[in-house]
Structure 1
Amino acid sequence: MQQQVLGGRYLLKDKVGTGGMATVYRAQDQVLNRTVAVKIMLPQYAGDATFAARFKQEAQAAAGLSSPYIVGVYDWGKDGDTYYIVMEYLRGTDLKSGIRSHGALDPKKVAQIGSQICAALSVAHKHEIIHRDIKPQNIMVLPDGNIKVMDFGIARAKNSHLTQDNNVLGTAHYVSPEQTRGQELGPTSDIYSLGVVMYECATGQVPFDGDDAISVALKQVNELPVPPSQLNPNLDADLERIILRCMEKDPANRFQTADELRQTLNAYLAGRQVDVPEPTRVIGAVPAGGAGATETRVMSDQTQAMARPAGIGNTAVRSGSGMSSSASGGADPYGGKKKGGKGKIVAGVVAALAIIGVIAFAAFSALNSGAKTVTVPNVLGYTQEEATEELRSLNLGVKTSSGYSDEYEEGEVMSQTPSGGLQVEEGYEVEIQISRGPEPIKTTTVPDLKGRTREEAEKLLEEAGLVGVASEASNDAEEGTVFEQSPAEGEEVEEGSTVTYTVSTGPGTVSIPNVVGDGENSALGALEDAGFSVSREYEYSSRVDAGVVISQSLTGSAMPGTTITITISRGPEPDTSTPDTPATSPDSPTTGEDEEESAGAA
């Protein structure tokens, strides 16, 4: 890539990522001599006045936020037709990649991450800024395990006019129900999204999935999540209640502030009693797989513009506006009323299905009011035979599967769906998962990263099932290539292990030894050991002993390989006059020989 300098100051090095609105580069701040991240608006948006305004708003808003858990914004500007933001350069990996690599996280780690995100949101909310795009891709996990919240690219100040459009921005897996409806957003919307993030951290999967953004967003509105403990039996009840309270459909039922949620998470981390009410539950038994369960599908991680179905949030008809639901209608050319858009059809179908569901449930309850129900026993830790016998004794069906577990011995029940204590009808099929014991340790060979670019190194590590943590340092290796790694190439390590590697920023300057007053050989050795070439000159000096350095051409610091010229004393200049012969005046017309003859004659 041809090197480019933005604003006469930021030298772009290499691309580190692309988001929904911008590309991010690693760059060198040539004024403060530090590595920074520069976010440059994508070309298709740079000419759009609305997006340009939103981009500048991001910089102005984020620059005012100061927290150890928020990525720092240093500068922003416009270079030609390009808008850019200069941010803190982070070393680490995003939370989404971490979940993909490691699966469900330890409950305490989930709470710690949630608490730190709360700290970041608390600062933003006090500035009346709602993030609106909290998701694992926007959470950077640093090498020390702490996090920083990134990307206020679609955040907005409370009274910003920039969001009054026909799109709901955000990633569908994490948007709140009110964001899907296009309603006014507040702090509780970010808290909902944070609840989804903690759910994914705790279970390794998102609560709602589907074929497209619209179907996922509608599930956020209409379906309750499967309790995370059904997906991860190691999750305790306190943390589950915290997560599900964040994900309540009604904002009034959630934690109302980030500070309130953080205090609760910190109490949980400290082992204190957590007073959180039971979350909203599905009426009746939860079917195997849960109310919100769907086939797992891989969707794009990029933030996308998601069309808001008209009518879902009743945004077209406002209270007191004096406009009826048909105010924008009229006869179409065929004599009928003008048809609504696709969004209205979707909304109508959803509403109809909801009504039908209520009616069907009522009818089903009436017809089966005499059906016998039983309480599902808790069979965790039972052998397969014991669990099967216990369930069948209650006229319940049994479906088995298996998996690895560090907690349960081989042959014991490690999870069950539904959980023990739920009321179901006789004949209901309970799924139990039988432990195969601890998962065998999978090993992999550490690839050779030396000489590779950062992107090539990350690809090799990903293919090997390893996690890379990069740093930078000056080195004689080609700029932008790896020159050091640990563990070394060829070593066998456990899959998921971390490999640290160092990328060269090119040869840096080094201090020049001061060799004035040193002997010639000593000075030569000192300069060459420091990486410099040496040129020698000699001159007479009545003040400096022979063989001692009188001066050097450069001091301070310079690039390795620079030539340093040292001047070495020859000692005093020798006297060229003849001994015992008086010195004659420069004006004397006679020679010394003539003088001797004259003296003898005298």
Structure 2
Amino acid sequence: MNENQELIAGRYETGRRLGGSAGADILAARDTHLQRSVALKVLRPESRGDAGALERLRRSAQSTGAVSDPNVVDVYDWNADADLAYMAMEIVEGGTLAESLRSHGPLPAGRAVSIASGVASGLVAIHAANQVHGAITTDSVLLTREGAPRLTALSGGPSAASNADEARNFAGVCSPEVLGGSSADAASDVWALGVVLYESITGVRPFDGADTVAVATSVMRDTPVAPSQRSVGVPFVLENLIMRMLSRDPATRITTAAVALSELSMVTSSLAATATVANPVAAPRTEALPVAGQVAAGAGGSAGATVSGVAAGDRSGNAAGPSRPWLVPVLIAVVVGLGGLLAWSLFGPKDTNKSPAEMVTVPDVIDETSETASNTLFEAGLRGIPQEKTSETVKEGTVFAQQPQPGTKVERSTKVRYSVSTGPTTTTSSTTTSSSTSSTSTTSSTSTTSSTTTTTTIPPTTTT
């Protein structure tokens, strides 16, 4: 051990700093007892005097230790008291997903789905152990040197954000329910995975803003911009999954890691099938029929034994092999038949019917809310285009017309336009009143969101 190293707990020789937060450092270390490399999270002196920080470290170590899954880091050892507080974990040398995105930009769809599948598998194990990760971000997804994902240790519970950037960053992955004051749970972990997947293929967060309040307001109110509008080549099947993972309506949202993993598996299969169609396996090689009078080398004689199918020693024109007088009419019939097929394909009647696999049925979204209609159409493989219109009889925010009509067979990804009521037509004076009321409502809503956000507790960011 050199003079720059420190021996912690009588066994861990510390090395370079890997990361950390305001209250702790993550160090590369060597376990001298077991002769292996570890990542060592060490609380700083000021944090060791905080009973809450010690309790979170204890819970993080114990809850992570209760999970056994190759997609979650292992915890080897821990201690949590005022004199010494640390947690020894599996070290992952490939950096974080966040670092990869900053260095190389958005991931190809297949790679993003592969990483998300690993994270989802880890979440299945975490939730099966009755635990919650509570801090799923691109910073908490570690990558091995081979590119396999590993989730960092579980958060151990909420804590106050150490700075504005940390609070803003965390608000961007919080589900609407957590921002509304609910505790983090399995469903909020899956929501955060949707945010990570969105960021992986676009390079940006689905919800953003200048500060924590603006980000939280976006989560509570906004529908994310479709990934395909931010990044070229995002497959529709993947976009559809992400948008359902980030639906504000819990009734249409994917809320369990098991379902997310199953759907990611289907996306993987779809991408593989698409790649196969785009790059088909070479067709089996076919041999051309020999022209009458020719014999292929190796079929009844060597190549050198014949010249244009005539025996070298026979200048009379007789073939070296047995006579095949039937071959000429057969070949003529084949040529005529192929010519007929070619003519039919070029000039014969065309089948204008679409393949049933390419067609979907337009669902009925009349009387649904605009958001529910959008989700319903997404699930059907269609693109919803809302159009606001006044209506004297239909409640504001309700769909009252759509085109194409329900039950119509259309191509997948077809745009379905639907009319959303803005309520009855108002006079100028009532419009002013409405505007004033709307402004008051908006102010009130913003105030509520601000209050909620500022009291939202922020779990620590674990970087290992």
TM-score, normalised relative to structure 1: 0.44
CA distance, structure 1, for counterparts of residue 391 and residue 174 of structure 2: 31
Using the alignment, how far apart are the partners of 2:195 and 2:133 within structure 1? 15
Q: 1:261 offset after TM fit, Å?
A: 1.1
User: Which of these residues, 386, 395, 404, is aligned with residue 284 of structure 1?
Assistant: 386
Structure 2: give runs of 5+ residues left out of the alignment.
Answer: 161-165, 274-356, 361-374, 396-401, 405-412, 420-464
Please tell me whether residue 215 in structure 1 is matched to residue 214 in structure 2: yes
- Work out whether 1:202 is the aligned partner of 2:201: yes
Percent identity among equivalent residues? 30
SS of the residue 1:76 aligns to: strand
CA contact 1:93–1:140 (8 Å) conserved in 2: yes
Deviation at 1:124, TM superposition (A): 0.6
Asked whether the 8 Å contact 1:7–1:79 carries over to 2, the reply is: no
Secondary structure of 2:142 counterpart: strand
- Matches of 1:283 and 1:263 in 2, distance apart? 29
- Pair 1:67–1:45, CA change in 2 (3 A): same
Q: Find the residue that maps to 1:211 and give its secondary structure.
A: coil
Change over 3 Å in CA distance of 1:176–1:80 after alignment to 2: closer
Which ranges in structure 1 are unaligned for 5 or more consecutive residues? 157-161, 286-357, 367-372, 376-418, 426-602
SS at match of 1:13: strand
CA distance in 2, matches of 1:109, 1:361: 45
Q: Distance in 1 between matches of 2:103 and 2:46?
A: 33
What is the TM-score when the length of structure 2 is the normalising length? 0.57
Q: Secondary structure at the match of 1:190?
A: helix
Relative to structure 1, is the Cα distance of residues 122 and 47 closer, same or farther in structure 2, using a 3 angstrom cutoff? same
Aligned to 2:226: 227
Which of 101, 116, 119 is 2:118 aligned to?
116
In the superposition, relative to structure 1, how do residues 217 and 279 fare at CA in structure 2: closer, same or farther (>3 Å)? farther
How far did 1:252 drift?
Answer: 3.2
Q: 2:182 maps to what in 1?
A: 183
| Letter matched to residue 199 of structure 1 | Y
After superposition, the Cα gap between the structure-2 partners of 1:40 and 1:233, relative to the gap in structure 1 and judged at 3 Å, is same
Q: Give 1:146's aligned amino acid.
A: A
Query: In the TM superposition, what is the alpha-carbon distance from 1:185 to its structure 2 partner?
Result: 3.4
Shift of 1:282: 8.2
Which residue does 1:421 correspond to in 2?
A: 415
Q: Give the direction of change, closer, same or farther, for the CA distance of 1:278–1:129 in structure 2 (3 Å limit).
A: farther
- Is the 1:180–1:218 contact (alpha carbons within 8 Å) kept by the matching residues of 2? no
Structure 2 contact 207–218 (Cα < 8 Å) conserved = yes
**Kindly tell me: are residues 64 and 424 of structure 1, through their superposed partners in 2, closer, same or farther at Cα, counting changes over 3 Å?**
closer
1:32 corresponds to 2:46? no
Distance 2:42 2:390 in 1: 53
Question: Match of 2:204, SS?
Answer: coil
Shift of 1:126: 0.9
User: Quick one: which amino acid aligns to residue 3 of structure 1?
Assistant: Q
The question of 1:174 aligning with 2:173 is answered yes
Seen in structure 2, the aligned counterparts of structure 1 residues 192 and 29 have a Cα distance that, compared at 3 Å, is same
Letter of the structure 2 residue corresponding to residue 127 of structure 1: A
* Pair 1:94 & 2:88 matched: no
Give the CA deviation at 1:57.
Answer: 0.7
Question: Match of 1:96, as an amino acid?
Answer: A
Q: CA deviation at 1:105?
A: 1.2
- For residues 44 and 211 of structure 1, do their structure 2 counterparts lie closer, same or farther at Cα, with a shift above 3 Å needed? farther
Partner of 2:59, secondary structure, is helix
Q: Quick check: which one's helix share is greater?
A: 2
For the 8 Å contact 1:10–1:29, the answer to whether it is kept is: yes
Considering only CA atoms, is the larger Rg found in Structure 1 or Structure 2? Answer: 1
Q: Distance in 1 between matches of 2:149 and 2:99?
A: 14
Offset, 1:151:
3.3
Distance in 2 between residues matched to 1:188 and 1:214, nearest whole Å: 22
Task: Find the residue that maps to 2:218 and give its secondary structure.
Answer: helix
Structure possessing the higher relative contact order (Cα contacts under 8 Å, 6 or more residues apart): 2
Distance 1:195 1:236 in 2: 16
- Determine whether 1:144 maps to 2:146: yes
- What is the CA distance between 1:422 and its match in structure 2? 6.5
- Work out whether residues 36 and 86 of structure 1, in 8 Å CA contact, stay in contact via their aligned partners in 2: yes
